[in-house]
Each structure stands twice: as C-alpha cells, then as structure tokens.
Structure 1
C-alpha cells in the first residue's frame, strides 16, 4: 500500500514500517516533524519508487521502523536504507526491541539517526531538526558523523586494560586533532572505573542522573555529563558512588552509543571485567573489541572461558583482538615460548604485544596523565601510538570506501 497524505503538498519524507502498527500510530509525531500532509507511507517492498520520487522532488528523509517481530525481514530494511542513501536521503531508524546484531546491521547500512519505539513525544521532531541543521552531529559541531566504536576488556584485574584504553584514546585524539575529528572515552565500569583517576578528572553528579534515566537522554544531557580533557578528548567518567552494573540495560547502552556515534568520530569504551546483560551489545557494536591479558595462568584461564562463552552464545568473535600486555622481550626465549603456547591453546593470534613499561606507567597513572605527557619515550607508549595510528588509517580507508573514493 502506498499512501500520499495530500498530492498537492510536496512530500519531504517516506515512512515505511516492518511489523508493529505502522505509520498510522505515529501520525501526530510525523505531522509535527514534517508538517501535515508532507509525508508518504509505503510498505517496505513498495517503498523504492516513492523514495526515488521524493528525492527527485527535493524531499530529504526516509523514516524506517522495525520491530522485533519482523526481524527476519531485516534484509529488506537494509536494502531500502541503501537505496535511500544512494539518492541522498537522510535515514531515521525507529526500532523496538531489536537484537544487538540486527541493530548494528541497520546502523551500519547507513542510518543517520535512531529513536526507540514506543516513540517519545518529541524525539522524531528533534531528530529531523538535527538532520536539517547539518547532520546527526554534534554538540554544536555541525558536521555529520557516524563514529567508530572500540571497546577494551580486561581478562583479569590488573592486566592493564584501563591503561591501554586511556592511552589508546589519547593517542588517537593526538593523531586526528588537525583533521577536526572528535574522540570520546567512556568508562562503563560504573563501580570501580579508574579512567577519571588516570586523567585527573572530577567525577560529576550528572553521570548518576544520566545513568538512572536514559529515557529522556538527549544530546544536551549527554554533553553535560562529559568532561573535557586538554581540549582534545571528551570523557564520561565513572560516577562518584559505586553503582550496580545493571543500573542500565541494553536499550540504555544503545541510546548512549547512538548519541556517541552521532557526535564523535572515535569512541573508546573501558569495560568492567564482569560480563553483564549489555556486554554482548557492546561486542556487536564495536568495530574492534580489544581483550587484554598477560602470560600468567590466571589471565589465560579467564581468556579461555571468555572466548568459550562467546562461542556458546553464538556471538561474533571476528572483531575480537587479543592483546598481550607485558609481553616477553626479544631476548626472553622462555617467555616467548610461553606466549606461543598461549596462542595455540587459545586458538588466537595476538593482535598486539605490549612491552612492559616499568615504573613509569604506575607513576603516570598516579599523576593522572597519559603516557604521551608523563613518559613520552616509554616503549609502551610508542606501541600504543602505533596501534592508534593503525586505527586512524583503517577508519580513513573505510570512509573512502563508503564514499566510493577508495582506489
């Protein structure tokens, strides 16, 4: 079915739903966002023609709704998003109870913004206004972004995962500063996160307010919870008080990641060692999921159990990069042999082997300064900088490929 509200009025949007009650249930929000009689409702498999039609007439939007009951038809939604992007339309995704993998697939297909269903009263109008004013970014930035997410997980306490995450984020911020790219660092260890300590940042009361009610979270509220570090990196610290890890759920994490992707080019997440009911969402959302370990038996056993858990839940493991911290030196033959046996027993290849930075690392963490400031010549800092440069190059190559500029 194709329904044009008023053929004498130029349409600015196509609205298409898979599952649920369809556009009729959202008529007041659609009228508020686009104007009365200025949108077309179309069934998903009949929407390609009106998408081309409104693009030719100067229309600018595709609103596509997907519910969990229609998740099997996710391919049709991805194809429609691709068609809309090909003719220059902005895509707003409305989703209800989708699995993390389905949500990730739709966002990767090219959706510019996201809102949950049931739809908050003003969410759609606000999303349309943001996109009209220059894209789904930013807290005053004005350029459209769809940031890359990189998560860091420690297989055991004390393996250096937070040190690695903080310094990887900072090295990336240094690399992209001249290009105008934005970097965010999010501490998702809501109990004992130490990102604030390692950067000497205050913990804000606004973070508890953010975590306790994300249903009303918008860009302004998200930005107020972030602290700025040296004018080059935005940081969401752990809250002032110890909170249960289940204070937020998958939908809350999805909302925060959506805001972060829309406003930053690189997002780094420091995860707690405990696996939560939203850990799988972060795993599927991340371009790269760094799992940090050492050569000790405790780390090895925990990493083995972690990888087994992922496979048992049929979660993707191809984006996991296992990082060996405090790796043996070139002359430590016994240590190198142990590292090779670890790779064999875990059935992985270490994506990176970080050298032991020594006492300088502990001193830098205590001072609340990244290694680039406190121990510029340290071997660990140089290796993390090399990894950061690789991430920046990979992101640039992916961006060129998406825009057809790759050679």
Structure 2
C-alpha cells in the first residue's frame, strides 16, 4: 500500500529489537527509506543534527525520567529549521502530564509503546499530511470561506451527533446538480461538545489529544497548529475529536473558537460543528460565523418548547441566523396532525426535515463506528440523511446563484 509521496524515516533506539519492530511496520510500504541508529541521542552528541534533519520522520523511544536523554532531544529540537517530524514512543504507564512535557519541548507526537502498527502508520501519515498541507491545499481560493453549520439539540440523546457525523460524510462527496458534475468538497467536523462529545465513537476514531493541545496551548493557534490536531477519516473528511477526558466547559474561550473557525473557513467548504448541550459564552463566535443553525428535536411538547427557547437564545446575538429544524426519529406524516401543526406554530417554521426512526440501523452504525450513509445508504434513514445534506447545501447554492 504505497503512499503518493516517498518519505525517509530514521529509527533511533539503543534496543535493536525496537528498531527491527518499527522497521517492519514501514518496510511493507515500497516508497519508504528506512535508516536505523542503534544509539541514544545523548550518545550521538554533535552528530545528531546531521543524522536526523535530512529525514522526514524521526521515531524514537523516550523515557521522560531520563533527564539527560530528554535534554539531548530538547537541544536537538532547538536546531530544527525544517519540517522533520519527531515521534516519541513511551511506556504505557507514562502520565498525561509527562507526555505533555515531552510535547512542550517540541516533540510532535507522543504515543504509547503498545500502539499497533496501523496506529503508528496513521500517526505518521497524519503528521506528514498536516506538515505538507499548507503547500498543497490551503488557501486555494476555490474553497475559501466555507459554510459553518452548527448542530444543536433540544434534549440529550435526540441524535444531533448522528446528524453531524452523517452530514460531514455526505457533504464530502455530493453536490452533483443539474448544472455540474459531482465534485469532492473539503469538509471538517468539529466536536465542540467538550464533556459528552462522542463523534469519534460514531466514526471509530481514537482521540489523540488534539483538542487538549489547543486548550492547553499558551500560543495563539495558527493554521499549522490547527491542522496538526485534525484526524482524517477514511471517507475523506477531517475531524477534531472532543477530548477523551472530561474537561471543564469554561476551558474554551471565545477568542480561541473564533481563531479556529477563521482558520478552517479559509481551508474547508463545510465546517460542521457538534455543539455542547450547555449554553456557554464561547458558542457566540460559532453562531456569528454560521450560515445556518440546525436544531434537532422531536414533536413532543417539551422538546418543541426547548427548541423554541434555543432559537430565541441563539438569535439574540445573530438576529438573521437561518434555523433549520430537523425532526428526528419520526416519519414525515402524510397529513399533518393537530400536534404537528401546533409545533409549527410554536417554532414559527414549517417542519420539512424528517428522519424516520430506525433503531436497528442507527445502533449497528454506532457499534461498527460507521456513518449510516456509508453503511446503509439505501435504508430509509440513510436516504433521509442524504436528502437532508442535499437540502442544507442546496439552499446555499441557490443563495449563491442569486447573488
């Protein structure tokens, strides 16, 4: 399974078995050049720079308690002027705090020694593509100023994450209209539900600490930093996973959210955002940037009332914000019942987006970590989700054509 671009990898470890194991992971791919150095960085002394900075990737063992070795790595990283990526593998018992200290000296990624070969290959791919991304596809004009579509819910468990994940999955490959052939769109999914976010579970991705890096960072985020926190899904869109550990909601700041959105709008056609259940001040920049807000509800009285409250609350700052109400787990009625008409009255909008209840398909999609539109596109729910994505993006095209 060769990659498009050749890359050179150096493996640094005193343990020959470590070098052999890591070499084995990458030698399966035909366009990797692999070098091994069976010594530590402190043993290399002044030779380290000339050995490693000609390489794309440096993979080495790191013991955070070996002060001399860490100091040698730190001194080496101070001399880094190019895009060489440093990947450290540590014992599984290393604490998050110690792993973060390693990242602070400039190590690009810290992974446990127990990681499997797919995991380490994915980490290298991700870091290299983030490093090469600025030259390749940032600011390419055609995808500048993407549409920001936040998704929120009128009650917990109503399915907003399902909708966000499937929107991202569908929008990346659609946009075939009478006027043009299907084109690939660049899409990113941000899981801003810091405390309960689980879009990574729906997509079978592991949180790699990208969000925590953003929150912990004292520096202003730039396009390369944000790019390095994103993970690429097999369907072709990028994801910023919510942190695996629960973090306080106030650990995000409005200016940070604004910076992230500004950066992503320059790079992606669509930015899908799974919002937190709680109302927090840093949601304001999301709404100010939004081209439309999606509220997921059902037609029960408490849910409809809560959806109305959310609409009013979120429109306080963004008066003209278009709101799309999606009724989940209810089939579109042939004839509107009294209570559906009542719901439309309360929400002051026609209910046009309906997603049928199909617990079997929804459940197996979550269990397998695959979006419904990818796993069961022909199911009633798969078709309805595709239609929803089509409607949300089509209204945008129509607006753009009228301009």
Relative to the length of structure 1, the TM-score reads: 0.60
Equivalence map 1:244-323=2 (5 Å): 244-310=248-314, 313=316, 315-316=318-319, 318-323=321-326
- The whole-number CA distance in structure 1 between the counterparts of 2:259 and 2:349 is 32
For residues 191 and 315 of structure 1, what CA distance do their matches in structure 2 show?
Answer: 25
Structure 1 residue 227 corresponds to structure 2 residue 231: yes
Partner residue, 2:183: 179
Which residue does 1:242 correspond to in 2?
246
2:327 is equivalent to residue 324 of structure 1: yes
Structure 1 match to 2:367: 366
* SS of residue matched to 1:174: coil
**CA shift for structure 1 position 307:** 3.0
> RMSD of the alignment, in Å?
2.3
Whole-Å separation in 2 of the counterparts to 1:225 and 1:161: 23
Rounded Cα–Cα distance in structure 2 between residues aligned with 1:370 and 1:162: 11
Deviation at 1:359, TM superposition (A): 1.5
Matches within 5 A, 1:8-407: 140-142=136-138, 143-144=140-141, 145-175=144-174, 179-213=183-217, 215-310=219-314, 313=316, 315-316=318-319, 318-330=321-333, 336-400=337-401
| Distance in structure 2 (CA, Å) of the matches to 1:214 and 1:399 | 39
Shift of the alpha carbon at 1:391?
A: 3.4
1:397 deviates by 4.4
- Give SS of 2:273's match: strand
Q: TM-score, normalised by structure 2?
A: 0.60
Instruction: Note closer, same or farther for the CA distance 1:240–1:358 as it changes in structure 2 (3 Å cut).
Output: closer
Q: Secondary structure of 2:173's match?
A: helix
Contact 2:173 2:185 in 1 (8 A): no
Separation in 1, partners of 2:281, 2:326: 24
Partners of 1:286 and 1:189 in 2: how far apart?
Answer: 17
Cα 1:338–1:317, aligned 2, differ >3 Å: closer, same or farther? farther
Cα contact 1:310–1:317 (8 A) shared by 2: no
Post-superposition offset of 1:214: 6.6
1:335-368 Cα shifts (integer Å, max 9, x gaps): 8332221111232222412222232112111211
Could you report, residue by residue, the CA deviation over 1:120-163 in whole angstroms, capped at 9, with x for unpaired residues? xxxxxxxxxxxxxxxxx956215121111111001100111111
Residue 390 of structure 1: how far off its partner (Å):
2.9
| CA 347–365 in structure 1, closer or farther in 2 if over 3 Å, else same | same
User: Could you tell me whether the CA contact under 8 Å between 2:149 and 2:293 is conserved in 1?
Assistant: yes
Separation in structure 2 between the aligned mates of residue 231 and residue 379 of structure 1, nearest angstrom:
21
1:365/1:169 CA distance change after superposition, 3 Å: same
Say if 1:195 and 1:237, in contact at 8 Å, map to a contact too: yes
* Structure 2: distance between partners of 1:269 and 1:307: 17
CA distance in 2, matches of 1:400, 1:367: 39
CA 1:238–1:389 in 2, change beyond 3 Å: closer, same or farther?
same
Structure 1: unaligned runs, 5 residues or longer: 1-136, 403-407
The answer to whether the Cα contact below 8 Å between 1:139 and 1:219 also exists between their aligned partners in 2 is no
- Shift in Å at residue 380 of structure 1? 1.9
Give how far 1:253 is off.
Answer: 0.6
Is the contact made by 1:214 and 1:252 (CA closer than 8 Å) also made in structure 2?
no
Cα distance in 2 for residues equivalent to 1:260 and 1:358: 34
Q: 1:170: Cα distance to partner?
A: 0.6
Instruction: Note the residue ranges of structure 2 that are not aligned, 5 or more in a row.
Output: 1-132, 177-181
May I ask how many residue pairs the two structures share in their alignment?
Answer: 263
